[in-house]
Chain A
Amino acid sequence: MTQSKRADDAAAQAPDARHPRIDPATVVGWGVDADPDNDPTWPMRDRSKDDGPGMAWTPPAAQVADVEVLQSVEHLRRPAVVGQSTPPSGLSGLIRRKAFGFSESQWGHWLMLMLADRVNTVEGVLDDVVRGRPPNLLVEMGVVKRSRSKEAAVATAAVLGLGVALVVLARRRRG
């Protein structure tokens, strides 16, 4: 049976007892915000509040950022406040800086940022390992409950260790 035929059959029975139509008269607050003028609706340009073309408003005081903040080439100037979470770093940072050479209209901009995100994930794992705290992947991915995090860490380490051992063994055999 085609999807259209299934739709026809379902529509022939709807609404029914399992899919009852709601009587608006029974709905609390029905129509309290009804507004015939809301058509076309928000967002609408309010010309009384327009301050002319361009960036004519008085800007807020500018934040002095103490980390590197990448900026869209489409901005005429840096917005007054910026987020300072996780500044660009490492190889992913290099890719992000390159990406910000392209406008938001270019696919290259977004695809390079997606690539940087994936590289950043690997950097995060390496960073954890370098700090002597290998990531507990099973817990972080929600496969195992946090209450069993120690067992999960041992299992993860065992699997990773086995993987490394197999790679080493295979290379020796090839050699």
Chain B
Amino acid sequence: MLAMDYRGPRRVRIENKPMPTLQHPRDAIVRVTRSCICGSDLHLYHGMVPDTRVGMTFGHEFCGVVEEVGPGVENLKAGDHVLVPFNIACGQCHFCKQGLFGNCHESNAQATAVGGIFGYSHTAGGYDGGQAEYVRVPYADFGPTIIPDWMDPDDAVLLTDVVPTGYQAAEMGGIQEGDTVVVFGAGPIGLLAARCAWLFGAGRVIVVDHHEYRLDFARTYCPAEVYDFREIGDPVVFLKKITDIGADVCIDAVGADASGNAWHTIFGKKLKLEAGNAVPLHWAINSVKKGGVVSIVGVYGPTGNMVPIGNVVNKGITIRANQASVKRLLPRLIEHVREGRIDPKAIIPPCAAGGRGGGLPPVLVQA
């Protein structure tokens, strides 16, 4: 089968690889019909995540058709169209019982700090991902969800990570009616976080980024009040001035590959002495009001970052963070898509969707 093949920082190619096989009674093999490149794949691609091995296949956002199931999988059968949450979760450990499906303790031998994730280095379990024609899906009796007949597959694939992560970013903010919410980053996750902040009753939603085309899209899609951080001087001072006292909730929807501060760029991205560039987190901590909430869904490496932790103490900030618990959120999110409150596929740019209307074009083509 054809699959993406990682060869080292900034080097990938398409390779013929062996078909995946069932390795556990609860496994399934899924033929991939839609697969995305996540912003967090860039952290792997840039060589920022430890234990990213040459020969690995990335891809944790995918949906497809079940080809084969193990004897322990009774709720799926060959031919079912499924969306596969990016978390690999057993559904029965201490953490899964709490709904913490991103923290499963039965899916990652290499690390205890994170559960298994498809195609996301050996630090996240060493599973090949879905940027391939076929993929092994562990705990297939728990994770995959059958795609409703009415749902567009472009919407389905975005429910595997982007939408739940954006929604959970807003949820973890504990947004109350009338709250001011600042979202750092207008990528797919930031767009969904801002969109979902309204669902929780936000009174004002502000998005900060430096890509004009993203900010233009955020203005109408979220919709949000948008600012280019290159035009507002010190973003923390600016945000405090326009909110009088600081935001109630700040969301870091960027993570390790951020821009905006030379110090963090040199130490985090170039020298890799930090776990990436933590400038959005820095801004979030300093922009939120005293007693406010900082919600983190941006992905950072497992080492350390220079952030103003003293200000967290002095301001009495609550920090909420996690990998999205996709399976927990899916029922509500499917309802939101059905009711038209969230339109996931609208974030796919026309150039990627073949001019729209025709769905995503195939990306794996024999070299």
Task: Classify the secondary structure of A's interface with B.
Answer: loop
| A123-142 contacts to B (CB < 8 Å) | 123-125, 135-137, 139-142
Is B51 within 8 A of A96, CB to CB? yes
Interchain pairs with CB closer than 8 A, number: 280
- Residues of chain B within 8 A (CB-CB) of A124 are 7-8, 54-55
User: In the docked arrangement, what's the CA distance between A117 and B233, Å?
Assistant: 38
Flag whether B97 is at the interface (Cβ < 8 A).
Answer: yes
Q: A-facing mask of B1-18, CB < 8 A → 1, else 0? A: 000000111111100000
- Residues of chain A within 8 A (CB-CB) of B10 are 141-142
Flag whether B144 is at the interface (Cβ < 8 A).
Answer: no
Is A46 within 8 A of B107, CB to CB? no
Known contacts A5-B233, A20-B225, A141-B11, A69 near B53 by CB under 8 Å = no
- Residues of chain B within 8 A (CB-CB) of A56 are 94
Interface size class of A (residues with CB under 8 A): 35 or more
Q: Closest approach, in angstroms, between the C-beta of B3 and any C-beta of chain A?
A: 10
Flag whether A171 is at the interface (Cβ < 8 A).
Answer: no
Q: Closest approach, in angstroms, between the C-beta of B363 and any C-beta of chain A?
A: 11
Q: B-facing mask of A81-102, CB < 8 A → 1, else 0? A: 1111110100010001000100
Across the interface, name the chain A residue whose C-beta is closest to B117.
Answer: A83
Is B109 within 8 A of A15, CB to CB? no
What are 13 A-B interface contacts by the 8 Å CB criterion?
Answer: A7-B241, A19-B225, A22-B204, A24-B198, A32-B341, A34-B176, A35-B200, A43-B98, A43-B320, A45-B98, A59-B92, A81-B88, A85-B55
* Inter-chain pairs besides A29-B198, A110-B301, 14 sampled, C-beta below 8 Å: A21-B225, A22-B205, A30-B201, A41-B171, A43-B320, A43-B325, A55-B105, A70-B110, A72-B111, A78-B109, A79-B116, A113-B50, A118-B47, A121-B8
